[in-house]
Structure 1
Amino acid sequence: MKKITTLAFLFVTFFGSILLAQSTRPDSLLPVRGFCIAAPQPKQLDAFLKFINEELAPRQVNTLILRVDFNYQFESHPELRDSIALSSKEVKKLVAVCRKNAIQIIPQINLLGHQSWATTTHNLLRVYPEFDETPHVKMPEKYAWPNTDGLYCKSYCPLHPGVHKVVFDLVDEICAAFESKAFHAGMDEVFYIGDDKCPRCSGRNKAELFAGEVNTIRNHLALKDRKLWIWGDRLIDGKTTGIGEWEGSMNNTHQAIDLLSKDVVICDWHYERPDQTAVYFAMKGFNVITCPWRNPKNALLQTQDMLKFRATATKEMKPRFFGMMQTVWSPAGSFWDEYYGVKVNEKAGENTASNCFKTMYEEINKAIR
C-alpha cells in the first residue's frame, strides 16, 4: 500500500508539474504580448534592431505594431512617401530580426481619421485634397483645442469614390513588405465623420458610416487572408459610461459595434483610468487587447485584470481576452532616450511610457514564471 501511495504521489507530482508548466506558457497565459511604436527613421534602424533583440525578445514580446504611415518608400504611390522613409531592404532587416525572435510585425497606416495633426495636413489629404471630409475647415496658423471648427484631426471621406483605390494600394504594399498577416488601420479619435457639408455623407448615420469603413477595410484584407486590427475608442459610448470624447465616442459611432465583423481585433486603450471595457468587447464577440501608455500604476492593474479575465472567464469568453500591448506615442528615438536615461522628463516623474512598459512586462513575466 505504501509503495502504491508513493507511486501515486510521484505520478501526480510529475504530471501536475507538466500541466502547470503548460498552463503558464506565455501563449497560454497571454496570446498577445505586444508593443506599439512609430517605425524608426532609416538612421535609427540599427538601434531599433538592437532594442528588439535586447529588450523586446527577452521580455517575450510576440507582437510588434509599427506605426508606419508614410515612412516607407512606396512604389505604388511614391507621391505619398515621406521625404525620408524606410526602403524595402531596410524593412526586410526588421522582418528578419522579428522572425528570429518569434515576433509578428503588424504595420499600421492611419485610415479614416488622423489625416492631420495640429497645423499640418498629412500626406494623403495634402496630395489628394479631394478626399477631405471637411474641405471647408482650413488648417490654422496656430492650433488650439477647443476651437470653433471642432478640428482635432482631419478625416478622409469614406464614401469618396477614389479613396479606397489609393488607400488599398498602400495597405497591400505595406503588408507585403512586412510579410504580415494582419494590418492595423488606426481608426481612433474620429471626430469628423458624416459632416453636414459633405455632399456624400451629409445626413447619413455616423455609426453606419464608421462600420461601413471598418468592414470595407476588413473585407479587402480578407481577400488575402489578412486580419484587421483597430483601436477601440470609437466603439465605446463616451456619454453613458462617462469615459468621454477621447477614449469613447460622443458622436454616436459607438453604435457601430453591432454592425462590425466579429473577426476584427480591438485594441482597447485607456490611459487615464484602468477602465475594464475589455469585458464589453469580449461580450460583444471580439478579441480584445488592453493597451496602456504612460501610467505604470494603471498598467499594473490592467495587466492583473487581463490575467484575471483569462483565468476566470467561461470557455467561450476566455479566448477573446487576447492580451496586453504597451503603446508609445513619441517618436522611436525619443522613447529610447527616455528608456535608457539619456533624457529625463522630471515633470513626468514615474509616469512615462518606458516605466509603463517595464512595469507591465515585469507583471507579465512574473505570471509566466
Structure 2
Amino acid sequence: MKAKILLLFTFLLSISSFAQSKKDSLFPVRGFCIGSPNTKEVEPFIKFINEELARRGVNTLILRVDFNFQFESHPELRDANALSKADVKKLVKACQANNINLIPQINLLGHQSWASKITNLLKVYPEFDETPHVKMPEKYVWPNADGLYCKSYCPLHEGVHKVVFALVDEICDVFESTAFHAGMDEVFYLGDEKCPRCSGKDKAELFAGEVNLIQNHLTLKNRNLWIWGDRLIDGKTTGIGIWEGSFNNTHRAIDLISKNVTICDWHYEQPLPTAVLFAMKGFNVITCPWRMPAVGVSQVQDLVRFKASATPEMKGKYQGIMQTVWSGVGNFLEEFYSKKEGDSQANCFRAIFEEINKIQQN
C-alpha cells in the first residue's frame, strides 16, 4: 500500500514539475507592475502577494517607487510619509518567500511632472529642467500650446546623474534587486531648441545615450536595466501614435542602445505585435497589458505563437507577460476584491493568468 501511495505521489509530482517547466519555458517572466504602497498599505499588499500573486505563479514584481522612500543619500527628495527601510524589507521578505523577483522603478529622464505639479527632482533641483521656459499651468489640459505632457530632466546637465544614480543605487540596495526599471516612457521633451546643452542634437542619440549611461552604471553592480519600449517604436510610420510610439525620432535609438536592456512593450487598447520588432532587434521583451481582459488574453496567445514560429535565436527573447496597474495599491485592491465584471485592471490580471494556466495544462 505504501509503495502505491509513493508511486502515486511521484507521478503527481512529475506532472506538477512538467507543468511548471512548461510555464517557465513559455513564460519565463510572469510579472505584475504597480505603484509602491503607502505605509498603511504595506500589510494589505503583502497579504495580496502571499495569497494572489504567489498562487498565480507571478515571479516578477515591479514597484514604481519614485520618491516614496526615505532616501538617506538625498533626504530632500523624499515624499511626505515615504516608506521606511523596515517597510521595504517586509516587502522584500514576502517576495523572497514566494520566489518573486522584486524590481524597483524610479522614473528617469521623462515623467518629472504630472498634470499641474512638478515632481520632487525638478522641484528641488530646477536647474535640471530640460524646458525651464515651459511653466506649469494652474489647470492642465491636453493638447496645449507648449506640448506639455510631462517634464524631462536634461540628460546632458553635468549634475543630474550624480543625484539620480545615488537614488538608483540606494533603492536597488535596499530592495536587494538584480535589476532596475527606469521608466523612460512618453518622453516628449528632449533636445529642446532652447536648451543650452541639448539644442540641435539628434534626439535618438540623446535618448540612446541616456539609456546606455544608466545601463553601464547598473552593470558595475551586476544589475540589468528595464525600460518601457514606446520611445523605440516609430509612431508615425506604424500608425501606432504619439503615446505608444515616438513622434520625435527617438525610435532610431533602437539600433543604438545596449542589447542587455530588457524592453517592457506596452499596448493597452489592441494587441499590437511589436514584441516581434524588439525580439528581431535582439532584445529580451516582455508584453504588458493593462485593463482590457480580451486584449490581455490575445497578448498571451500571441506570445505563444511568436515563440512557436521563432528562430532559435529569437525564441528566448520573448520573455513573458506583465500586468500593469496604473492606480494606487489601495484603489487596486478595492477593485480586485469587489469582483465587478467588465474591463478593469483586476479582471485583466485574472484573465491573463487564467489563460497562462490553461495553456500550461494543454
TM-score (norm 1): 0.92
Question: Residue 212 of structure 1 corresponds to which residue in structure 2?
Answer: 209
Q: Measure, in 1, the Cα distance between the counterparts of 2:17 and 2:74.
A: 52
Q: Measure, in 1, the Cα distance between the counterparts of 2:346 and 2:16.
A: 34
Report SS of the residue matched to 2:306.
helix
Question: Residue 109 of structure 2 corresponds to which residue in structure 1?
Answer: 112
- Asked if 1:367 corresponds to 2:359, the answer is yes
- Asked if 1:155 corresponds to 2:147, the answer is no
Which residue of the other structure, out of 200, 203, 224, is the alignment partner of 2:197?
200
One-letter amino acid of the counterpart of residue 222, structure 1: T
Which residue of the other structure, out of 334, 342, 354, is the alignment partner of 1:337?
334
Q: Measure, in 1, the Cα distance between the counterparts of 2:248 and 2:155.
A: 16
Distance 1:158 1:298, change over 3 A: same
Report SS of the residue matched to 1:246.
coil
Which residue of the other structure, out of 183, 192, 200, is the alignment partner of 2:180?
183
Q: Measure, in 1, the Cα distance between the counterparts of 2:142 and 2:16.
A: 54
> Structure 1 residue 365: deviation in Å?
1.2
Report SS of the residue matched to 1:26.
helix
> Structure 1 residue 21: deviation in Å?
2.0
One-letter amino acid of the counterpart of residue 248, structure 1: G
Report SS of the residue matched to 1:197.
coil
Q: Percent identity?
A: 70
TM-score (norm 2): 0.94
Question: Residue 5 of structure 2 corresponds to which residue in structure 1?
Answer: none
Q: Measure, in 2, the Cα distance between the counterparts of 1:105 and 1:197.
A: 39
Q: Which deviates more, 22-31 or 133-142?
A: 22-31
One-letter amino acid of the counterpart of residue 145, structure 1: W
Q: Measure, in 1, the Cα distance between the counterparts of 2:260 and 2:356.
A: 25
Question: Residue 7 of structure 2 corresponds to which residue in structure 1?
Answer: none
Q: Measure, in 1, the Cα distance between the counterparts of 2:36 and 2:23.
A: 26
Instruction: Note if contact 1:24-1:367 (Cα within 8 Å) is conserved in structure 2.
Output: no
Q: Measure, in 2, the Cα distance between the counterparts of 1:143 and 1:119.
A: 5
For residues 101-140 of structure 1, the aligned pairs below 5 Å read 101-140=98-137
Question: Residue 6 of structure 1 corresponds to which residue in structure 2?
Answer: none
For residues 22-61 of structure 1, the aligned pairs below 5 Å read 24-61=21-58
> Structure 1 residue 312: deviation in Å?
2.5
Question: Residue 140 of structure 2 corresponds to which residue in structure 1?
Answer: 143
Unaligned runs of 5+ in 2: 1-10
One-letter amino acid of the counterpart of residue 363, structure 1: E
Question: Residue 256 of structure 2 corresponds to which residue in structure 1?
Answer: 259
Q: Measure, in 1, the Cα distance between the counterparts of 2:272 and 2:22.
A: 27
For residues 216-295 of structure 1, the aligned pairs below 5 Å read 216-295=213-292
Q: How large is the RMSD of aligned CA atoms in angstroms?
A: 1.5
- Asked if 1:298 corresponds to 2:288, the answer is no
Q: Measure, in 2, the Cα distance between the counterparts of 1:205 and 1:195.
A: 10
- Asked if 1:170 corresponds to 2:162, the answer is no
Q: Measure, in 2, the Cα distance between the counterparts of 1:279 and 1:137.
A: 37
Number of aligned pairs? 349
> Structure 1 residue 28: deviation in Å?
1.3
Distance 1:20 1:318, change over 3 A: farther
Unaligned runs of 5+ in 1: 1-13
Q: Measure, in 2, the Cα distance between the counterparts of 1:80 and 1:314.
A: 47
User: What's the CA shift string for 1:171-210, capped at 9, x where partnerless?
Assistant: 0000000000000000000000000000000000000000
Distance 1:20 1:309, change over 3 A: farther
Question: Residue 349 of structure 2 corresponds to which residue in structure 1?
Answer: 357
> Structure 1 residue 96: deviation in Å?
0.6
Question: Residue 3 of structure 2 corresponds to which residue in structure 1?
Answer: none
